[in-house]
Structure 1
Amino acid sequence: MAKRWARWRFSSGLGAGSVSIGTRAVTSFGQFLTNIAPAVQGLGDLDRELLERYLAEVHSRYAGTVTHRMLIGQLNLFFTTIRQHGWDDSLPSTVTFYSEDIPKEGARLPRALSEAVMAQLEDPENMAKWNNPSYELITLILMRCGLRITDTVQLPTDCVIHDQDGAPYLRYLNHKMKREALVPIDEDLTEAITAQRRRVHQEWPDGAPVLFPRATRNGNGDVPVADGVYRKALHRWLKRCDVRDEHGDTVRVVPHSFRHTLGTRLINQDVPQEVVRRILDHDSHAMTAHYARLSDTTIRRHWEAARKVNIQGETVTLDPDGPLAEAAWAKQRVGRATQALPNGYCGLPVQQSCPHANACLSCPMFITTAEFLPEHRQHRKQTVEIITAAEARGQQRLIEMNQQVLGNLDQIITTLENDEDAEAGP
């Protein structure tokens, strides 16, 4: 029955690591029965009394550890799955663990890498030490998107989509939650993924369905590289780079470290917990609470209710529904939280640096609302004064630069004032 459970979990898309944890829990219970109740021959011989004895055994050995909770929780999931699928009707209904049987999970600190370590890992010279461009791209995706390694290696070839504004998103299957998810990405990562697609097409001209095909014994290119293979490559890369912590000691880095690091970085940049949850595609706030205790549940409603215009005075809207709407909102919220401006917000993804310096009124990513009308009117007054003084001095270049800003301000103010007049009514 344990083998059947493991096969079913594999077929549902669960990774080898998660399946092995469940197998370990069933094995532990089987060893307990062998030592304590050798007369048990099948699931029908189990009862609540045996489970209580097992609870005492596990508590005496693992109390206060993650293993304690894992052994009980996974075994209970084993019993639940048997009942759900009708695999063995002899399993008594009393053979189950209740919520009070499972130890409460203690507060865990995020396992983020320090900024000193991340500075070494993100150093272009160290990234250039990857001898495999596929593994280098996997590392970038882990760092910037916070995906799990099992989801990353199984990315489809067409994993990049764009919203109505042309902003790119990484589309992937969250195998743990069994759903499709999206995360905003920058143009650099988009270009790197495009380059990887070209490399894959050269190797498999007929087309490969996955972005990271296994290099050998993969005629159709449909078998992705194994996550264990990448883990070994990551270990070798870290050794080549000689990455050390603040004390000069070697550091242990696993693929999941990048997910924790991204979550911690976002929280440290004052991005609300709800937005971090959506970016990392957590199923509950409790998972994201490892990074922070903050929550923001109202700001999206205010954002959606406000009229938003860009530098041409054109209305900016979010997609009305669906998973892309959630991802687009996360992108907008990150920009609002970390790149607030005195007269609007930046719509640029937080991972991407701004090529326009502070000239936001000439930047296509700039977004503003009616709440900033006083600032826009004051800015317009100052701009007219600058143009007038520049004309008197014959500074043509300065005039041209500020004329563009003045034109954008006029469009923004007109659109927002018309919107205010419409709301006020007759």
Structure 2
Amino acid sequence: MFRHTKATDLLNSGVPIHVGMRYMGHKSANMFMHYAQTLSKTHEAEFLRYRKITTDGREYQQDPHEMYEAIALSKRTDRVLPHGYCTLPPRQTCDKGNACLTCTKFVTDESFEPVLRQQMEATDGLIAERQEAHEARFGEPMSQENIWLKGRFQEKNALSKILHTISAVRTSDGTFTPLRGAGSPQGRQEEN
């Protein structure tokens, strides 16, 4: 029970996972997360810590607290995507399928950067594969007016803007500058 309580206290105190893992002697984040149970305040603080970015690379203009309430992470896991969040009001249904990168209701942040980079690589590979298959089948390159190709280029464009914006908030040591919460530059200015 002591280990479980200590891991929970570390996480709820805002200790980074890699530091908590080292303290507890765990080799994987999964093991540390097995012991740790977080408070809803910690979930909200972690969510609000990162600047939210829209598909066109701009900062999400709505209040992040309202966004957190709208997607209600503890109750609406269908609004949490592998690469961001859906801000579509709960009573509305999505007509985009999995085309989130072309949807104005999609928002993401720095915590999803590895998945977004992987998605960019996968999209590049898919485009190259489809273009080769098209040329092999029809004997000519795929037209830039091809509707499927246009859709993939829209996704790539959105990913490029998002990743560019994410890179702009990274510090020289590779960490991100939190815009809200403990350790944020705004919090230090308020203390002074």
Shorter-chain TM-score bucket reads 0.5 to 0.7
1:407, 1:421 → 2: CA distance? 24
Question: Partners of 1:424 and 1:383 in 2: how far apart?
Answer: 25
CA distance in 1, matches of 2:108, 2:159: 11
- After TM superposition, give the deviation of residue 327 of structure 1 in Å: 4.6
2:80–2:86 CA contact under 8 A, matched in 1: yes
Give the C-alpha shift of residue 359 in structure 1. 0.8
Residue pair 1:313, 1:408 contacting (<8 A) in 2 also? yes
Task: Say yes or no: does 1:413 pair with 2:153.
Answer: no
**1:267-312 Cα deviation digits (max 9, x unpaired):** xxxxxxxxxxxxxxxxxxxxxxxxxxxx722222222221210111
Determine which structure has more spread, i.e. the larger CA radius of gyration. 1
Contact 1:390 1:398 in 2 (8 A): no
**Alignment match, 1:388:** 128
The residue that corresponds to 1:333 in the other structure is 72
Write the deviation string for residues 214-254 of structure 1: whole angstroms up to 9, x where unpaired. xxxxxxxxxxxxxxxxxxxxxxxxxxxxxxxxxxxxxxxxx
Matching residue's letter, 1:399: L
Query: Shift of residue 384 of structure 1?
Result: 1.0
- Please, which of 363, 370, 388 is the counterpart of residue 103 of structure 2? 363
Any unmatched runs of 5+ in structure 2?
A: 1-38, 135-141, 176-192
Ranges in structure 1 where 5+ consecutive residues have no aligned partner: 1-294, 320-324
Residue 40 of structure 2 corresponds to 296
Quick one: distance in 1 between partners of 2:68 and 2:122?
Answer: 33
Give TM-score scaled by structure 1 length: 0.27
Q: Is the 8 A contact 1:336 1:347 kept in 2?
A: no
Structure with the bigger RCO (C-alpha within 8 Å, sep 6+) is 2
339 and 312 in structure 1: CA distance in 2 versus 1, 3 angstrom threshold: same
Which amino acid in the other structure matches residue 151 of structure 2? M
CA contact (8 A) 1:361 1:408 kept: yes
Residues 387 and 398, structure 1, Cα contact 8 Å, conserved in 2: no
Residue 389 (structure 1) shift: 2.6
Percent of matched pairs sharing the same residue: 25
Q: Per the alignment, in what secondary structure is the counterpart of residue 388 of structure 1? A: helix
Please give the alpha-carbon distance, in whole angstroms, between the structure 1 residues aligned to 2:56 and 2:98. Answer: 17
Scaled by the length of structure 2, the TM-score of the pair is: 0.57
Counterpart of 1:301, as a letter, is A
Equivalent position amino acid for 1:412 in 2: I
* Equivalent residues of 2:71, 2:79 under 8 A apart: no
| Deviation, structure 1 residue 338 | 3.4
**Matches of 1:365 and 1:389 in 2, distance apart?**
30
SS in 2 for 1:298: helix
Letter in 2 for 1:310: T
Instruction: Report the residue type matching 2:116 in the other structure.
Output: H
Name the count of aligned residue pairs. 127
Mapping of 1:155-174 within 5 angstroms?
none
What does residue 373 of structure 1 align with?
Answer: 113
**Which amino acid in the other structure matches residue 342 of structure 1?**
P
- The one-letter code of the counterpart of 1:299 is H
